[in-house]
Amino acid sequence: MISAPCRLGILATLIPGLPVTFTEMKDATSLSDGNLHVQTRKLADVGYISINKTSRGKRTVTEFRITDLGLEKLRLHVMKLQRILDAESTAQAPAKSGKPADDSAVWA
């Protein structure tokens, strides 16, 4: 569930524990409205985030928060990734291919 980059980005944005509005999340993750809606719904369905909708005047504001379960699952995911990196650093270095390093953009 967490390994999808868009869902990982959503959870990472929520780590401080403060509520994040739909617009703030959209800006932070660069996801489209539809994709953000689908991915946050998936995370909410498994209990990793909560979604709260409130009325502010004539508008409805959607806010997301990470849950205790979501924070724990994210920690476990990061620990697994760290074990992979630790195992890789003790393994034999891969042969150089002569190709330049991959400088593609990575979501941060």
Q: Residue 51: enclosing H or E segment and its boundaries?
A: strand 49-56
pLDDT in tens, 52-98: 999 989 999 999 999 999 999 999 999 999 998 888 777 766 666 66
> CA-CA distance, 11 to 32, in Å (whole number)?
16
| Complete edge-to-edge strand list for the sheet that includes strand 49-56 | 20-21, 59-66, 49-56
| pTM of the entire predicted model | 0.77
pLDDT in tens, 4-22: 999 999 999 999 999 999 9
Which CATH number do you get for residue 37? 1.10.10.10
Indicate whether 105 belongs to any domain: no
Tell me the C-alpha to C-alpha distance, in Å, between residue 42 and each of 26, 37, 106.
16, 9, 23
Give the total number of structural domains in the chain: 1
pLDDT in tens, 25-48: 999 999 999 999 999 999 999 999
Per the structure, the complete domain to which residue 66 belongs is given by 5-87
